[in-house]
Amino acid sequence: MPLENLVPYYRGARFSLIGLRLRHPDLPADVRGDIERRIAMLDDFSEAAVETYRLRRRRDEERASTLG
């Protein structure tokens, strides 16, 4: 599966963590902190996947223009 196709899965995991946090506001502080770190991690993964896609597309376009 191409990396960029993982973005919807990252988004789903992110929203499930947000839902967990909202549904259980009485979670211990260490668990809430862990949720926040995981949300940030998923955001980073999503941004990296999109940027990797853009860089790959740009590279492929440059290669096609030099060959054509």
Q: What is the pTM of this model?
A: 0.83
For the chain, the domain total comes to 1
Query: Hey, is 13 helix, strand or coil?
Result: helix
Contact 28, 14 (CB under 8 A): no
Query: Hey, is 20 helix, strand or coil?
Result: helix
Contact 43, 14 (CB under 8 A): yes
Q: Express each pLDDT in 11-32 by its tens digit.
A: 999 999 999 999 999 999 999 9
Model confidence at 52, pLDDT cuts 50, 70, 90, reads very high
DSSP assignment string, 32-53? HHHHHHHHHHHHHHHHHHHHHH
Question: Residue 49 is part of which domain span?
Answer: 3-67
**First vs last C-alpha separation in the chain:** 29
